[in-house]
Structure 1
Amino acid sequence: MIMRTWRGAVRAEDADRYLEHQGDTGVREYRETTGNLGVLVLRRTTGDLVEVTTVSLWESMDAVKAFAGEDPEVAKFYPGDDDLLAEKDLHADHFEVVGVDLDLAALSR
């Protein structure tokens, strides 16, 4: 399993709007791509900005490439992103998942 991460930040007043936009674009495309196993969207306030990190899980690097293209280290952006993002990483990171220990019942609460 592969974990893909990406980070950006928005002004606090744009956070809810960006998260809705991200759900309608990137997160939707993740979930519609064969081989995607799920997506987590994380947010935290850091000073005047809200940092947003997306963590997606994939069956394989081939599945990641089906979403991201042949150079999966390059972050993927959508129309409207630049209107909302105050900061954005131009790359995405990938990790081989070597262990998982989750309480799935607790996650659904």
Structure 2
Amino acid sequence: MIAREWKCRVPDIHSEGFTAYLYETGIKDSSTTPGFRGAQIFRRSLAGKLELTLITYWDNLESIEAFAGTDISQARLYPEDEVYELEPELSVQHYEVIEHQFSAEQRG
């Protein structure tokens, strides 16, 4: 399994709207691509901005290419990104997943 990591920043005022938009674009498009295994979104506050990290999980590099195009090292961006004053990283990172176990038990 391969993990694909992409990061971006948006001003705090766009945090909720952009997160919903990210689901409607990147997550929705990814999830309809054969070989997609799942996704996680992480966020953290910076000075006046929110940083988001999107990690998607894929069967193999060919699956990622079906989603991202032939140059899988480039981020896939969307026309409406500028509405959210998006500061995207233009490249993505790929990692071989060697452990992916989560506990079924939830801790409070």
After superposing on structure 2, the runs of 4+ consecutive aligned residues of structure 1 that deviate more than 4 Å are none
Q: Which residue of 1 aligns with 2:71?
A: 71
Deviations 1:66-97, CA, capped at 9 Å, x for gaps: 10011000000012112214421000110011
- 1:73–1:91 CA contact under 8 A, matched in 2: yes
Normalising by structure 2, we get a TM-score of 0.93
Normalising by structure 1, we get a TM-score of 0.92
Identity of aligned residues (%): 28
The amino acid that maps onto 1:72 is: I
Deviation at 1:106, TM superposition (A): 3.6
Q: Which residue of 2 aligns with 1:87?
A: 87
CA distance in 1, matches of 2:86, 2:27: 19
The 5 Å alignment of 1:15-30 reads: 15-30=15-30
**Unaligned regions of 5+ residues in structure 1, if any?**
none
3-state SS of the aligned residue for 2:79? coil
The amino acid that maps onto 2:23 is: G
3-state SS of the aligned residue for 1:15? helix
**Unaligned regions of 5+ residues in structure 2, if any?**
none
